Amino acid sequence: MIWNSREKNRRRDHNSTIGALGRKHAVISTVIIAIIMLTTMATPCLAAENDIEWTEDELAFMEEHPVIRLGVDPGFVPFEFIDENGEYKGIAADYLALISEKTGLRFEVVKGLTWPEAYDKALAGEIDALPAVGKTSEREAHFLLSEPYYKFKRVIVTGDTETGISGMDDLEGMTVAVQRNSSHHSYLLSYPKINLSLYDSVESALTAVATGEETAFIGNLATTNYLIRSNGLTNLRFVSFEAEKQQSLYFAVRKDWPELVSIFNKAILMDLHMPVMSGYEAAEKIREVSTKVPIVAMTADVILGVRNKCEQSGIFHYISKPFNPDYFIKTIKDIISQSKTDMDTDTTVLDRRLGLKNMNGNIELYNQVLQEYLNENQDTADNCVGKIYQLAREGF
C-alpha cells in the first residue's frame, strides 16, 4: 500500500535487515511523510479524461499529427534539460508526459541542439513547438503561446566582491552576459544603455562571470542557482531585483497550429490548482499536531525571502530541484544525527500511526496523499527505497 506491490514484497524479504535499523528509520518515516505533504500539495490536480470536451478540429488535429517535434534547451534545469543518459527531463517534460497520457500525442525532442539552434529551427518551421519559453513581443510575433503554466524569477549574478550592482540602473554602460535567444536576451534589448555579451548556454555565461571575464549575468534564479552549485562556482552572488515580479513559462507552438495550443490548455491548465492547501499551509497544519516532525521543502526557489517564509511555517530543511537522491539521503542523515536523543525505539519504515495523526485521523486523505505521491514521484520512491536498503546493508 505504501509504494507498490513490488516494493512490499522486497520489504518483506528484508525484514531482518530493516529491524536492525531501529529508531533511526522512525525518523526516516516522518521525514518522508513531511516531504509527501509538501510535494503533493504543489502537484497539479488533473481533471478526469472524461471531463475534457475536445472539438472536432482538435480531434482531427490529434489524428493528423500524432507526433510533435520539440526544440528544447538542454541545460534549462529544472524546467527542462537533457540528463546524463540523453533523456529529456524536467518540469516541462513532466507536463508533456501528462498531456501525452490524456491525448495520445507523442512528443519527440530534436536532440543534439543548443538552445539558439533549437530556437532558430523553430523559427524556420523545422520544429513544431518549444515547451518552456518566457513571453516576449518577438516570440508572440512568431509563435502561438499557451496560458502560463509555471512561474520563475529573474536575477542578476555578479562576482561576490562586486558590491556596486543592486539593480538594472547600475548596469548602464556595462556589458552583461546573457544566453542567446532567451527571454532575458529580449528583456535586455529594452535597455539600450546596456551592452550584451551573448552565450549559447547559461553555464558558459556563469563561468565567464566567475573567472572575471564578464561583470554580470542575467537569468532565472532556479537554473542559475543549480548550475552555480553543481559547478562549484562559489565566488558568485545573486542580486534580486523587481522582487514583486514573477516571469512565466509558456508552451510555444508554430503559428499554423492553434489546435495544439488549445489541446495543451485543456489537458493541463484548465485544472491546474492546489488541490487542498499550499506547502506552507500544510507545514503549519503539521506543526499544529507535532513540533518535532522534520519537514523538508522540495523547491527550486532558494532566495532569502522564501527561506524566511519556510522557517515561519516550521520548515527548516531544503532539497533543491531537480531531485538528487544522494543529497536527499544526506539530508535525512543530517536530520537523524541532530535528533538521535529524541527518538523512541521503533522498527517501522513508514509509521502509519504517525502519518494518520498528522492527517488528523483522516484515513482517506492519508491514503490519497500516499497514492498521489507515488503516481507523480515513482522514480523518487524507487530511489529512496533503494538508498535506504543500501544504507541498511552498509550498517547505517
Side-chain-facing half-sphere of 183: CA atoms under 13 Å: 23
Q: What is the pLDDT of residue 39?
A: 42
Kindly report, residue by residue over 326-367, the tens digit of the pLDDT: 777 777 777 777 765 554 444 455 677 777 776 667 777 777
Side-chain-facing half-sphere of 357: CA atoms under 13 Å: 12
CA distance 42 to 89: 18
Q: What is the pLDDT of residue 282?
A: 74
Q: What is the pLDDT of residue 42?
A: 37
CA distance 392 to 349: 12
pLDDT at 82 over 50: yes
Q: What is the pLDDT of residue 387?
A: 60
| Bond preceding residue 322 cis, omega within 30 of 0 | yes
pTM check: above 0.75: no
DSSP 313: T
Q: What is the pLDDT of residue 202?
A: 96
Pairing outcome for strands 175-179 and 216-220: parallel
Kindly report, residue by residue over 152-196, the tens digit of the pLDDT: 889 999 999 999 999 999 999 999 999 999 999 999 999 999 999
Mean pLDDT for 144-154 is 89
Domains of the chain in start order, with CATH, are 5-43+274-393 (3.40.50), 49-147+250-271 (3.40.190.10), 154-240 (3.40.190.10)
Mean pLDDT for 89-118 is 93
pLDDT at 22 over 60: no
